[in-house]
Amino acid sequence: MSRRRFLAANWKMHKTIGEAVAFAREFLPLVKGADAEIAIAPPFPALAALGEALAGSNVALAAQNVHDQPSGAFTGEVSTAMLADVGCAWAIVGHSERRSLFGETDEFIARKAAALFAAGLRPIVCVGETLAEREAGRTFAVLEAQLAGSLAAVPAARAAELVIAYEPVWAIGTGRTATPEQAQEAHAMIRTWLRGRFADAADAIRIQYGGSVKPENAAELMAQPDVDGALVGGASLEPASFARIVLAREGASS
């Protein structure tokens, strides 16, 4: 089954409105006609302006986070309807920084994913083990627990629209990338788990790799059979760099 490659930029807490719009101006011509799905997740304040800059292009707007409740006394939070209103098609949920720095649980992440589907958006659900967990031989157990918890409320009929990002915590922002073999091993395990949970829809679910993806390593990672794209942090902040990742092909990585 062929899955369309999906490259998403996670800008984290980087870029003002002006910087986001300037990025779009430079980036869009570089990826026009690219044979891949592309999304950018800027910080909340830049969503509206970036959305306008991306309008009519082949690059979708994504959020980095969302709350599961429709409205109410949740200071500092943003609802799915607000994201839909500003033009988001996607939201990242369960990023390891949200899990570790802001105490997000699998249960909360599952509610966010369900809320996104209910609002007509699609989640990119992040999972990944820490270095200590990997070294203790617990990678698969950790991933299974995160998948079971975070995907507990995905409607079966929408499963094919789900995107998973496998992001080993030890590779995020460290410059230490998983080898293509390590990535494929984890992605294959995730695919097997998805098959048990969602049957044939698992073959349509894109599994992105994330963690120090760069123009130099993107092609070999995405050449793996179960690596269907990438979630890119640091290397997505420069238009030329992210464009090279979008356009990366095995044997033509630079």
Active site residue 95: yes
Q: Between residues 54 and 235, which has the closer beta carbon with respect to ligand PGA?
A: 235
Q: For 22, phi and psi rounded to 5 degrees?
A: -65, -40
Distance of CA 57 to the CA centre of its chain: 19
Q: For 8, phi and psi rounded to 5 degrees?
A: -125, 135
List, in order, residues 6 or more apart from 200 with CB less than 8 Å away.
Answer: none
Q: Between residues 10 and 146, which has the closer beta carbon with respect to ligand PGA?
A: 10
Determine if 29 is a binding residue for ligand PGA (CB under 6 A).
no
The shares of helix, strand and coil residues in the chain, as percent rounded to the nearest 5, are: 45, 15, 40
Considering only residues 154 to 173 of the shown chain, the ones binding ligand PGA according to CB under 6 A are 167, 172-173
Render 144-156 in DSSP notation, one character per residue: HHHHHHHTTT--G
Q: CB 63 → ligand PGA: shortest distance, Å?
A: 14
**In this structure, what DSSP letter does residue 12 have?**
-
Q: Which of 94, 210, 215, 229 binds ligand PGA (CB under 6 A)?
A: 210
Q: Between residues 193 and 242, which has the closer beta carbon with respect to ligand PGA?
A: 242
Q: Between residues 211 and 215, which has the closer beta carbon with respect to ligand PGA?
A: 211
Determine if 102 is a binding residue for ligand PGA (CB under 6 A).
no
Would you name the residues annotated as active-site residues?
A: 95, 167
Q: Which residues are near ligand PGA by CB under 6 A?
A: 10, 167, 172-173, 210-213, 231-235
